[in-house]
Structure 1
Amino acid sequence: MRRIISFLEPSAGKELILPVTPPSYDWTHGNRVETIQLDQLGEINLPGGRLMGSCTLSDVLFPAKLYPFCNPGAVANPYVYLEQLQRWSDSRKPVRWIVSGTPTNALVLLESVTYGERDGTNDVYASISLRQYTAPETPVLAISGGDAQTSRDASTGAASTRTYTVQAGDTLSGICRKFYGDGSLAYRLAAANSKIIKNPNLIYPGQVLTIPPKDQLPAAMQVSASVKTAKATKTVYSKEDKIWKVQLAKEQAAMR
């Protein structure tokens, strides 16, 4: 059975079937092999990353008239095909390349289309270079001591908002040191999470904090009187009087 080679743009529902099946095609599949030299062991090969598939369709005939060997539905106008192929190449969007009756069915980018006439028949012969396409994936970065996720802007690649799940023993200043390298940003991080943090000195395991980029942190939230009092004082137990007393932190330090 004759092979049919076609290109499909799923998003637009467009399909292009080559009017004449090329005499041959090759599809490359494999992995990169890293070769290193080790003292006393010599040369060794290690598996590297995956190589994307590639193919060059050579001597693709776009006929100026219909021959008996043309595929059903062929059009006797070479430039109808060439214009569509060039539009796909210029758009830099992937299309699906399919060879009927084989496992070959890959998302590809049209790297180049080279064409010309040869024998005065107005037939056009073309060479079409294809490279396999794989959509880039957003990395997820795990941070020790909690669950953290990093997302990036698809157009700029810039870091955007992350999230962090508070663990037992965490403090806002410690979290700021972990993400920003600066514990003094604790109150600004609290302001970024004002819906769930009312007191910057009190966070609880299981809370999911928003971690904006450092340059997007809001101004520090206004510290309430109760928080100021809590920071400036400490409750201690008097064994002599057998009661709890509130002392200023600096007074307590002087007594030590």
Structure 2
Amino acid sequence: MSNPLQFWLSFNNKAEQFQLPVNPPEIRIESGYNWQTVNINQFGEYSIPGGQVMTRITLSSFFPRDYNPSYCEYENILKPLEYVEKIARWKNSKRPIRLMVTNTWVNYAMTIRNFMFEERAGSPGDIYYTLELQEYKFIKLTPVGPAVSKDTGLKTVIKAAPKPPRPNEKELPKTYTVKSGDSLTKIAQRLRTQGVKNIDAHKIYAANKSVIGKNMNLIKPGQKLIIPQ
């Protein structure tokens, strides 16, 4: 009759797995909360629970060189080094494994924190080991999408308010004195570089027609023109 307690280790969603050939005589399971001690004046020390700690499991056994029905759980056992190499490779991958003990509540995704093994005198070829495991928590990130109304089924997208335009703190010129070689087009270009927006030769002429006269292309040095804002 097979033992109802079977210790299984699996990796990559059971793509690789094996049963321990020899059940550990015992396993140590540590769980609970992080307790913090607080000293309150006139009342002494109080202990309060912190966050729940991850479960830690330690188990020890050996990989036998030869099958022995008195302690082996199955006949087709692997060579001891094959078990060792699998566990070492899983540990180096830095990915979680799963420990499951049949007919118990032990079924955890765990990381291999420490894996120690040795050969002992008197048992040539057998490899004794200790495996220290810590519970692994899977974190699932849920993308946040637009809210959907239960009544209308319409999605509501909340957009950030646009930043207000930065005020132009530079004082803009209000007048311009014509210089030799100027034209209204050149003056408009110069004013745009100084921060006057939407200015062109026609707007300058319209604001200064009484000064310039009927021909917008005939301006004279010394004429004082008003800059339309």
Q: Please state which band the TM-score falls in when normalised by the shorter chain.
A: 0.5 to 0.7
Contact kept? 1:63, 1:123, Cα under 8 Å: yes
Shift of 1:19: 0.6
Name which structure has the greater RCO, CA cutoff 8 Å, separation 6+: 2
The question of whether the paired residues in 2 share the 8 Å contact of 1:66 and 1:76 is answered with no
The answer to whether the 8 A contact 1:53-1:132 is kept is yes
- Partner in structure 1 of residue 134 of structure 2: 131
Gaps of 5+ in 1: 142-146, 148-163, 174-185, 189-224, 226-250, 252-256
SS of alignment partner, residue 85 of structure 1: helix
Corresponding residue for 1:79?
81
Aligned equivalents of 1:116, 1:95: Cα separation in 2: 22
Aligned-partner Cα distance in 2 for 1:17–1:100: 11
Q: Whole-Å Cα distance in 2 between the matches of residues 36 and 127 of structure 1? A: 36
Distance in 2 of aligned mates of 1:79 and 1:126: 11
Seen in structure 2, the aligned counterparts of structure 1 residues 65 and 187 have a Cα distance that, compared at 3 Å, is farther
- Structure 2 partner of 1:165: 158
CA distance in 2, matches of 1:7, 1:187: 62
Per the alignment, residue 159 of structure 1 pairs with none
Instruction: Point out the structure with the larger helix share.
Output: 1
Q: Distance in 2 between matches of 1:116 and 1:137?
A: 39
1:87 counterpart SS class: helix
Give the structure-2-normalised TM-score: 0.59
Q: In structure 2, do the counterparts of structure 1 residues 33 and 139 end up closer, same or farther at CA, with 3 Å as the change threshold?
A: farther
Shift of residue 139, structure 1, vs aligned partner: 9.6
CA gap 1:20/1:27 in 2 versus in 1, 3 angstroms = same
Q: For residues 35-114 of structure 1, what are the structure 2 equivalents within 5 Å? A: 35-58=37-60, 60-68=61-69, 69-114=71-116
**CA distance in structure 2 between the partners assigned to 1:50 and 1:117 by the alignment:** 37
Amino acid at match of 2:41: D
Instruction: Report the count of equivalent residues.
Output: 154
Q: Distance between the aligned counterparts of 1:28 and 1:98, measured in 2?
A: 16
- For residues 172-207 of structure 1, give each alpha carbon's deviation from its aligned partner in whole angstroms, at most 9, with x where no partner exists: 34xxxxxxxxxxxx569xxxxxxxxxxxxxxxxxxx
Cα displacement string for residues 63-119 of structure 1 (whole angstroms, at most 9, x for unaligned residues): 111011211254251011000000110001001100111000000001121111112
Match runs of 1:1-256 below 5 Å: 1-11=3-13, 13-58=15-60, 60-68=61-69, 69-118=71-120, 119-136=122-139, 165=158, 171-173=161-163, 186=164
Tell me the distance in 2 between the aligned counterparts of 1:37 and 1:87.
47
Q: TM-score, normalised by structure 1?
A: 0.53
Q: Secondary structure at the match of 1:71?
A: coil
Per-residue deviation, 1:138: 5.3
Cα distance between partner residues in 2 of 1:136 and 1:95: 16
- Residue 95 of structure 2 aligns to a residue whose secondary structure is coil
Cα deviation digits, residues 11-60 of structure 1 (max 9, x gap): 361112111111111211101111111122221122201110111112x1
Q: Is the 8 A contact 1:65 1:76 kept in 2?
A: no
Query: What corresponds to 1:199 in structure 2?
Result: none
Aligned to 1:241: none
- Contact 2:67–2:75 under 8 Å retained in 1: no
Once the two structures are TM-superposed, the CA of residue 140 in structure 1 deviates from its matched residue by 9.7
Contact 1:8–1:97 at 8 Å: present in 2 too?
yes
Q: How far, CA to CA, are the matches of 1:171 and 1:128 in structure 2?
A: 56
Determine what percentage of the aligned residue pairs are the same residue. Answer: 25
